Amino acid sequence: MKKFLIQITINFAVLFITACSTQTFFKVDPLDEKEVYNGREIVTKESNEAVVSVEFDGQSGNDFVFYVEIENRSDETLAINPRDIFAEAVKKDLKKIDERFQPLWATDPEMELGRINKEKEGRKTMHSVTTGLNAAFTLLSIIGTLSDKDTHHDGHKVVRDVVVWADNQVREEIDYSESMKSLESQRKFWKNEVLNYTELKKDQRVGGLVFIPFNPQIKYLRFIIPIGNSDFEFYFKQVKID
């Protein structure tokens, strides 16, 4: 009976933890006039300087992800800097700022690339240190074995030490390779898929993902993209996905 009660307690604990760890997902629906293309809702706004299109791409962890495309209509070169892009909470009238919430600034891809490069260098250093330590400990173990007065089975002991070193080093090489592949994949993503700083000449176009921090308490969102002398504003309503 006691075991039965313990098992029930464990089952309830597992269910509770699972329920608490389930993430609630949200999306944003555009409130501006939109076009629907292959199920994707695209809002486009224009000025004498640029044409800007925005579509909501989804939620990624604690961020909303938007795809932004910009075309330069002016005769001047336009500097597109994702660090200048942000969102702010607005009230239902879409005019007044909801001052309960701070502005939500887009993730700077240059900072992410710097972080990834730093992690790569750190992992390289750790790999060198780990390899050196593995070799040093193995050498000390072999020296200890050969220095022991009991020479019985010394050959087998040395072979065992070498096998242990080889096993540890193989594990480290695999882990190092996977870590570097993962970091390189992240680097390529932030370099190629995300909207980066661009100097856009006349008639040129650039597009990429923009990550905006997500706040589940916000109801209405104004997404602002400053370009040249203009602020392109896009309005969205935040909705929980059932």
* Residue 24 confidence class, pLDDT cut points 50, 70, 90: confident
Domain region containing 162 = 112-192
Does 45 lie in the same domain as 144? no
Length of the chain: 242
Does 9 lie in the same domain as 95? yes
Does 102 lie in the same domain as 203? yes
For residue 67, which of 104, 34, 42 has the smallest C-alpha distance?
A: 42
Does 158 lie in the same domain as 68? no
Give me the number of domains the chain comprises.
2
- The Cα 33–Cα 146 span in angstroms is 81
Does 209 lie in the same domain as 182? no
- The Cα 188–Cα 195 span in angstroms is 12
- The Cα 196–Cα 82 span in angstroms is 6
What's the whole-number mean pLDDT along residues 148-172?
A: 57
Q: Is the pTM of this model over 0.85?
A: no
DSSP 3-state of 9? helix
Flag whether pLDDT at 3 surpasses 50.
no
Q: What is the pLDDT of residues 120-155, one digit of tens each?
A: 998 788 767 666 555 555 554 545 554 555 555 444
Does 55 lie in the same domain as 133? no
Does 134 lie in the same domain as 51? no
Distance spanning both ends of the chain, measured CA to CA: 40
Q: How many other C-beta atoms can be found within 10 angstroms of the C-beta atom of residue 50?
A: 21
For residue 63, which of 115, 30, 25 has the smallest C-alpha distance?
A: 25
Amino acid at 227: I
